[in-house]
Chains A and B, each alone.
Chain A
């Protein structure tokens, strides 16, 4: 099984690297993005809104952490649908589906490169912030960060797989990505704390997985223990347990439907 996953990962890596003019410049853009955040943050004084557990924090550390890890949500929502759409439009989907490989394995393996690339981007983003602008992550709880990350990816992957099912059935992505992208930036506390929102919008914000995900990441980055992050992690775990089986079932049904309608390779 691992050799299959590795080969699909290699396929995506080789394809991406075969386009050097789009692959390499993206790494230069990352420190430039961090620099922009740093200049904006100079306008905003430190506040307890940006800290964790009532402590004062800087806008720079608040936004850099949020933007960095928001990338995992974006990838989780888009990677699966991109994998399906990509293989449909290049004509390879049927060739893959006729191999003796489990469909869930294909779907997950086809999105691994996107997650790996996002992980490297996040590391480069955070390293830029640390090395150039002295972002302090010395107290970060690495285990808690990884656990939060795993839960964010699992929970948001459910929406991504729903979207892949939509591509399989309707030949176009569901509006999930657009809704989550916009809603997360506005209500998920990415660019400003949700405590600044009207109370009723704060309730809406609590329904978004990213609110809990970024809350957990920020807490872990400031050294919170797993116990202190409990509510956010439990929320993400419960949402994952509820949504992921539903998403996999929806995707399975969408493939069956496409096989009945003869639209497997259509896009």
Chain B
């Protein structure tokens, strides 16, 4: 296997824990080091090159910890991590050359300096200088739509602008691997959409590998090639959103718009094979009848037969699949096998 075809990121059985307390009194109480809280447990991942990989999980699931291990800010208790073929623990400096990290923490800039001064500092630390640095700053700043505000002090930026400057900083040294921790948090809808489009373009056009930790299920579903759902430090599934959606279709909601409904009609619906639940919602044109049925046994034939029994006029019909949010909640409340 050539180096270029090797995965961009390999996480091999990483376990990470943190002390439950840092106080001296805890050491005295436990007659030694206090117990540790497990943040990541036996996590293994392979993230391919040119992949936009999502990390989804509830608060405290371990998404940020995993990103910090990837970008060398936290060391694993056990296991190993390779980024672009570099072991991040053994060769931290070289690994950091290949990583751009956007922490999502708006305190990670110097508030008394302007946006440009901040970018000049971090760009220089990333290895750029002179006209090349200035050109690169202009390029990345244009991408996040901050060109007009670059010479203002950072302290005067809104939360969303700070977030966008963080995105720009991660891109400064043009690394092959980008790690984003909730990059659209606090960003308005328009700029959030721009950032999502931009991340997707970074993968599709520039060949970057991106790991995106997010709480926004729709965001992950919308742009990620694959998502890993983390629960209590364990990865419970890794799949593409499409596969996760398809796997999760164990029930469907058939929505039928009819002129009117009677009690007999509703009773007949409840006798259908695979029936789970029923609700009605009147609207101006008639009544929406929503019939939730198990995918394994329900058939459209029997549904339409039941609808035709009394010669009901069908004005409209649609099938609702489970929402990404429902799929996420299902997985996020399931322990790994």
Contact = CB atoms under 8 A, between A and B. Distances in A.
Interface of A: 3-4, 6-8, 10-11, 14-15, 18-19, 90-92, 94-102, 171, 256, 259-264, 266
Interface string B82-119: 00000000000110110101010101111111000100
Contact of B74 (A6, A8, A14, A259): A259
> What's the dominant secondary structure at chain A's contact region?
helix
A92 B110 contact: yes
Interface of B: 18-19, 22, 39, 65, 68, 71-75, 77, 93-94, 96-97, 99, 101, 103, 105, 107-113, 117, 120-122, 124-127, 129, 169, 173
Given A14-B113, A90-B110, A99-B126, A7 B121 contact: yes
B93 A7 contact: no
Given A7-B121, A7-B124, A92 B73 contact: no
B112 A18 contact: yes
A15 B112 contact: yes
B121 A98 contact: no
A124 to B, nearest CB: 24
B124 A4 contact: yes
B96 A100 contact: yes
Contacts of A266: 22
Contacts of A19: 112
Contacts of B101: 98
Contacts of B68: 262
B125 A4 contact: yes
B121 A90 contact: no
A5 to B, nearest CB: 9
A101 B107 CA distance: 20
A14 B122 CA distance: 15
A132 to B, nearest CB: 35
16 contacts: A3-B124, A3-B129, A4-B124, A90-B107, A91-B105, A92-B107, A94-B103, A95-B103, A95-B109, A98-B71, A98-B72, A98-B73, A99-B122, A100-B127, A100-B173, A261-B18
